[in-house]
Amino acid sequence: MTLPPALLKGDELFEHDASAQYDASRDLSKYLLMHYGSLEDLFNGGQHPLAPAHGYCQRLSDLLRSCAEQTGTTVARALDVGCSVGGVTHALSGWVRDEVVGVDVSQRSVEIAQTLTEHGGGTFCVIEQGPFHREVVIRVAEPGQRAAVSFEVGDANALRAPEEAFDAVVLSNVLDRVQQPAACLAQFSASADILRSGGLLMVACPWSWYPEYSVPSEWLGSAATATPSEEGLKALLRNDFELLAEADEPGLLRQNPREFDWFDSHVTVWRKR
């Protein structure tokens, strides 16, 4: 068996890294671990109080699958917007019929996702403490056991119309990272070019708004009208979509064995009218 390729090297984790956010080695290491790491990889073995937050990508994929099954929606092609290193893309490929496409603005995330897809996995390093790091080996399903998977660099606010519209679109933890979240969503309702009528839209977001990403007037919801982001999202989508499911899904980004960023994404699944 050939050795899996090195996706990230350990020394990179401790260098000053002036890369754009999401291209930095530390961030990519955290997303690789969150998307593909086992419980053992995440917590260095043993029981851990944060263990229920493991498996975020698979849980999103399972929820979308159950909505597709309940509504009798055939999902032949799916799009994962803001895919990072592709954990949701790969989870979807376990049940989507033909093809899953991941799009992200981060060139380095896309390159890593492409490399691990091509080689069936790879190795990367996670920070332990100060200068110590640990190597993690990850694997993804072979092409014969999943739908086709591809990744491309693209902007969530200016998505390329595919030759054939997608049957499902996932936006996981990206809407509060784009400059114009409402305009991003409008791409899926305004026409059937990207998401077909009857298709499914999944929006997962912890609603962590920062002016570095979008000006406050763009944030979904409004303090003036006491409207939380959850309701702001529903107001934007309810004319063009039927709400199928609503849930909270926790996830975990590991800084080191003693520090974790826990989030609880608000997840909704919608069927386009």
Residues that bind ligand SAM (CB under 6 A): 22, 82-84, 88, 104-106, 109, 155-157, 172-174, 177-178
Minimum CB separation from ligand SAM for residue 106, in Å?
4
Cβ proximity to ligand SAM, 77 vs 108, nearer residue: 108
Minimum CB separation from ligand SAM for residue 160, in Å?
12
Chain-centroid distance of CA 22 in Å reads 12
Cβ proximity to ligand SAM, 125 vs 204, nearer residue: 204
How far is residue 154's CA from residue 104's CA, in Å, rounded to a whole number? Answer: 5
How far is residue 5's CA from residue 115's CA, in Å, rounded to a whole number? Answer: 8
- DSSP per-residue string spanning 91-150: HHTTT-SSEEEEEES-HHHHHHHHHHHHHTEEEEEEEEETTEEEEEEEE---GGGS-EEE
Minimum CB separation from ligand SAM for residue 181, in Å?
10
Minimum CB separation from ligand SAM for residue 74, in Å?
24
Residue nearest to ligand SAM (CB): 82
How far is residue 257's CA from residue 237's CA, in Å, rounded to a whole number? Answer: 40
Cβ proximity to ligand SAM, 105 vs 169, nearer residue: 105
Minimum CB separation from ligand SAM for residue 109, in Å?
5
Cβ proximity to ligand SAM, 68 vs 92, nearer residue: 92
Cβ proximity to ligand SAM, 79 vs 174, nearer residue: 174
How far is residue 119's CA from residue 86's CA, in Å, rounded to a whole number? Answer: 14
- DSSP per-residue string spanning 203-251: EEE-----TTTS-GGGSSSBTTTTB-HHHHHHHHHTTTEEEEEEEEEEE
Cβ proximity to ligand SAM, 74 vs 153, nearer residue: 153
How far is residue 220's CA from residue 15's CA, in Å, rounded to a whole number? Answer: 37
Minimum CB separation from ligand SAM for residue 3, in Å?
27
Minimum CB separation from ligand SAM for residue 202, in Å?
11
How far is residue 190's CA from residue 98's CA, in Å, rounded to a whole number? Answer: 25
Cβ proximity to ligand SAM, 45 vs 166, nearer residue: 166
Query: What secondary structure letter does DSSP report for 160?
Result: P
How far is residue 211's CA from residue 219's CA, in Å, rounded to a whole number? Answer: 9
